[in-house]
Structure 1
Amino acid sequence: MADIPRRAAHRTAKLASLPLGVAGRLAAGWGKRLTGQNPAEISAEVSAKTAEQVFAVLGQLKGGAMKFGQALSVFEAAVPDEMAGPYREALTKLQSAAPPMPASSVHRVLAEQLGSAWRKRFAEFDDTPAAAASIGQVHRATWHDGREVAVKVQYPGADEALRSDLRQLIRFSRLFQSLAPGAEVKPLLAELQDRMVEELDYRIEADNQRAFAKAFRGDDAVLVPAVIASAPKVVVTEWVTGKPYAQIIADGEREERDAAGRLLAEFHYSAPARAGLLHADPHPGNFMLMPDGRLCVIDFGAVSRLPDGVPATFGRMVRLALEDKSDELLELLRAERFVQADREIQADDVLAYLAPFVDPVRTPMFHFTRRWLQRQAERVGDLRSPDFRTGRSLNLPPDYLLIHRVTLGATGILCQLDAEVGARDIIARWQPGFSD
């Protein structure tokens, strides 16, 4: 037990090294600029080294920090093309790669969770992990009745690692507050912490997956693998083989990309109405295209519980922005705490900020591209831009956090897919408030 404080200190030091390392590289980059070296080459060099460090540190941590890295990997579509390569390669690895734990550790966890006779539950068990995630790894096995199954085993100590990482990240709340002075940062971080800690109990994940499987049972577009058995740190589900979205992103044909995008958009917007839940872990590693054309969805550790579906506020916001009703839009944002009462902000500025985000519903079909997402990131991230100043005056209420983050994540995957999708009809069908 004496080794635990040392490991915790080591993890904290690794996590703290990220902002320090990035700051050092940026300072060196500015120094090179002052000596007349090519800015594009300098930016690419800084980007490559940062991506390398992000993967090296977050990949080793396996806990909350790695989960942030997984979420970040979705948004590489917003990084300018000349810098995206290193991030695309390094951060995408976080979706499926992490140092595996030894077979002896796996067996110990299985014995603790499924009983000392755990081997009798399986006809075969492959000690080599088939995939790895932030707090666990997946093994392929054959259940005692002959069914092929996926066995997710939580890393020993993952619970304390996750909590430690989250505590460390929450200590950065003042930094986040300075970047977004109009936002309620501490409640946002607390909400994120609560949702992520839930993922430590695989019984919750199993219940979530059962609810999704029930809602989509017999569906001709979505497949959710059945849960076979569950315990706090082990969950056994049906094994499914399909084409991962990461592979489609890498080399998919046009028809395949469009189909994958349409299925993902339909699932994202329909799940709250059908299951009362929102799958809240959108990255390509959690989606596969099946040989029969269905979307297979896995990993239900992170969900947003929406028994009444997605709040109509989101649909109304999109509709008002689409119809250029700036005064009504600002009134709605103030009423729902997206703009705090003491903030002075102009209705036309809010409309100018939000209007480009509703491009996907302006036409029957919309082509989600990296360049479109890059333009949005450049627009709101440019310190000289009026949109940047407007964005600093907006707030994200904690109860909307996961919905907002998941929608952005799903949009990032659509842009990675380079998919053309009829988003307007999908949103009109499933998003309350848009057509009301």
Structure 2
Amino acid sequence: MVRYARVGTNVGTVAARLARAQLLGRGRDDATNARLFREALGNLRGPLMKLAQMLSTIPDALPAEYASELAQLQSNAPPMGWPFVRRRMAAELGPDWQSKFAGFERQAAAAASLGQVHRATTLDGEQVACKLQYPEMQSAVEADLQQFKLILALHRRMDPAIDTSEISEEIAARLREELDYRREARHAALYAEMLKPYGTIRVPKVYEDLSTGRLLTMTWLEGKPMLHFKEHSLQARNLLGRHLYDAWWQPFCNYGSIHGDPHLGNYTAVVDEKDEPIGLNLLDYGCIRLFHARFVAGVVDLYHGLMSNDRARIVHAYETWGFIGLSNELIEALNIWARFIYGPLMDDRVRPIAEGVAPGQYGRREAYAVHRTLKERGPVKVPREFVFMDRAAIGLGSVLIHLRAELNFHQLFNNAIEDFSMAKVAARQAAALVKTGMDPLEE
């Protein structure tokens, strides 16, 4: 109740300011209001901060000024102190929890909005990462989700170019899933299965006897941050870019699964004795999105439709994803966005993912062009399944921009879909889910 009041007060203050300006006929100072909004959420930390970060990476879900400010929110939060950690670990593994480890570092190795990570050593001498969820996160998430709906409702009233109702439902579902560490453990096992053919991409092993629904113990994967390699040779950066591409696109094209939160903090590079990258560590599995095979078919159909300028196939792809009531103007608006996302895949040459674009601005210009059309002809309801596919594609592109990788994305994508069929994707996905203890997707 206290958190709900604090969140409501901070969000409500900005909402009241906007409403007052509109009532009095004053011009909207979006830059100032966005800054105040970011400061309000940043002071709260916790789930709502994570929601804002998610929302800021979905182009045009919020006005540009708000997206720019919210993108500055840092995921690092003050870690819990040792007495607090000790009580939380006892709650998860019992009062004798320390006897189950040969060593456990008191200082957190990392802290974020929903929990923190401690490095530890098992009784067998294995180095592990213990991801410990903060207390009362479930109630905090539910309180914050209520205010999150207010944020989007406010945006719909002020600038109704996009109906964000499906976006709200999708983000809420994914955030609730992130609280379930048993589910994340199954996601890690799923990715280990899907990426088995790619020996240079490492997935941590989960220690089930040292894990619960709110504690996840996994292999500690040594590696260096992606930005460490910004000044390395183009060959080194391209190698990492290829690994990133495989880690994201291969599970999607073959199994209908995406890593919905591709950002620099979720990857590290395996290096040799000369500090050259030789592999990739994929670290976090809290935000995994599974799709039916028909959605994957829509992605492939849109690619072929754009390549051959086949309007009927393009429209069929949008309808497959769940877009409804599309006029000619709305189709053209969506095509602006599609040609941007698919542009590197359609261009048969070695190139960067984007040319002359800063990572934080990737997709913003195209989103603005789409917004102008939607404001005149919309609103358009964004289907749930589309939300994280779109967000993840932008996130992956931003990481590749940071690396300054130059690859033939056309060839890479065509290799990934070479033997594509809905039946094969559905069969592979079902087999992998059963093998890793997950339920097959319901129609």
Q: Report TM bin, short chain.
A: 0.7 to 0.9
Whether the 8 Å contact between 1:60 and 1:99 is mirrored in structure 2 is no
Deviates more, 1:137-146 or 1:10-19: 10-19
Other structure's SS at 2:216 match: strand
Q: Which residue of 2 aligns with 1:380?
A: 367
Q: CA deviation at 1:303?
A: 0.9
Q: Which residue of 2 aligns with 1:397?
A: 383
Letter in 1 for 2:405: A
Other structure's SS at 1:304 match: strand
Q: Which residue of 2 aligns with 1:223?
A: 202
Q: CA deviation at 1:336?
A: 4.3
Whether the 8 Å contact between 2:45 and 2:77 is mirrored in structure 1 is no
Deviates more, 1:253-262 or 1:187-196: 253-262
Q: CA deviation at 1:233?
A: 0.9
Once the two structures are superposed, residues 340-385 of structure 1 have per-residue CA deviations (whole angstroms, 9 ceiling, x without a partner) of: 26x4537556545532332202223231247347474224315995
Q: CA deviation at 1:52?
A: 8.7
Once the two structures are superposed, residues 247-294 of structure 1 have per-residue CA deviations (whole angstroms, 9 ceiling, x without a partner) of: 445x55533332222211111111235565322222211111111511
Letter in 2 for 1:322: M
Q: CA deviation at 1:211?
A: 1.9
With over 3 angstroms needed to count, the CA separation of the structure-2 counterparts of 1:404 and 1:110, relative to structure 1, is same
Pick aligned residue for 2:307 from 322, 325, 328: 322
Q: Any residues of structure 2 matched to 1:95-134 within 5 Å, and which?
A: 95=75, 97-134=76-113
Q: Which residue of 2 aligns with 1:63?
A: 47
Identity of aligned residues (%): 23
Please tell me whether residue 280 in structure 1 is matched to residue 267 in structure 2.
Answer: no
Q: Which residue of 2 aligns with 1:155?
A: 134
Give the TM-score normalised by the residue count of structure 2. Answer: 0.78
With over 3 angstroms needed to count, the CA separation of the structure-2 counterparts of 1:178 and 1:333, relative to structure 1, is farther
Q: Give the Cα separation in 2 of the matches to 1:349 and 1:382.
A: 8
Deviates more, 1:379-388 or 1:392-401: 379-388
Letter in 2 for 1:415: I
Q: Which residue of 1 aligns with 2:2?
A: 6
- Unaligned runs of 5+ residues in structure 1 are 34-42
Q: CA deviation at 1:173?
A: 3.6
Pick aligned residue for 2:340 from 356, 362, 365: 356
Q: Any residues of structure 2 matched to 1:280-359 within 5 Å, and which?
A: 280-292=260-272, 293-306=278-291, 308=293, 311-334=296-319, 336-340=321-325, 343=327, 345=329, 350-352=334-336, 354-359=338-343
Other structure's SS at 1:299 match: coil
Q: CA deviation at 1:174?
A: 2.8
Letter in 1 for 2:304: R
Please tell me whether residue 268 in structure 1 is matched to residue 248 in structure 2.
Answer: yes
Pick aligned residue for 2:218 from 237, 242, 245: 237
Coordinate RMSD, CA, aligned = 4.0
Whether the 8 Å contact between 1:74 and 1:283 is mirrored in structure 2 is no
Please tell me whether residue 412 in structure 1 is matched to residue 398 in structure 2.
Answer: yes
Give the TM-score normalised by the residue count of structure 1. Answer: 0.79
With over 3 angstroms needed to count, the CA separation of the structure-2 counterparts of 1:16 and 1:125, relative to structure 1, is farther
Q: Give the Cα separation in 1 of the matches to 2:419 and 2:379.
A: 24
Q: Give the Cα separation in 1 of the matches to 2:90 and 2:188.
A: 23
Q: Give the Cα separation in 2 of the matches to 1:259 and 1:290.
A: 11
Q: Give the Cα separation in 2 of the matches to 1:93 and 1:13.
A: 19
Whether the 8 Å contact between 1:270 and 1:430 is mirrored in structure 2 is yes
- Unaligned runs of 5+ residues in structure 2 are 273-277, 423-443
Q: Give the Cα separation in 2 of the matches to 1:143 and 1:224.
A: 18
Deviates more, 1:102-111 or 1:322-331: 322-331
Whether the 8 Å contact between 1:65 and 1:165 is mirrored in structure 2 is no
With over 3 angstroms needed to count, the CA separation of the structure-2 counterparts of 1:21 and 1:154, relative to structure 1, is farther
Q: CA deviation at 1:159?
A: 1.5
Q: Give the Cα separation in 2 of the matches to 1:239 and 1:167.
A: 36
Q: Which residue of 2 aligns with 1:365?
A: 350
Q: Which residue of 2 aligns with 1:40?
A: none
Q: Give the Cα separation in 2 of the matches to 1:384 and 1:346.
A: 10
Please tell me whether residue 207 in structure 1 is matched to residue 186 in structure 2.
Answer: yes
With over 3 angstroms needed to count, the CA separation of the structure-2 counterparts of 1:340 and 1:227, relative to structure 1, is same
Q: Give the Cα separation in 1 of the matches to 2:292 and 2:417.
A: 14
Whether the 8 Å contact between 1:122 and 1:143 is mirrored in structure 2 is yes
Q: Give the Cα separation in 2 of the matches to 1:218 and 1:6.
A: 49
With over 3 angstroms needed to count, the CA separation of the structure-2 counterparts of 1:156 and 1:226, relative to structure 1, is same
Once the two structures are superposed, residues 101-125 of structure 1 have per-residue CA deviations (whole angstroms, 9 ceiling, x without a partner) of: 1211111111011111100111111
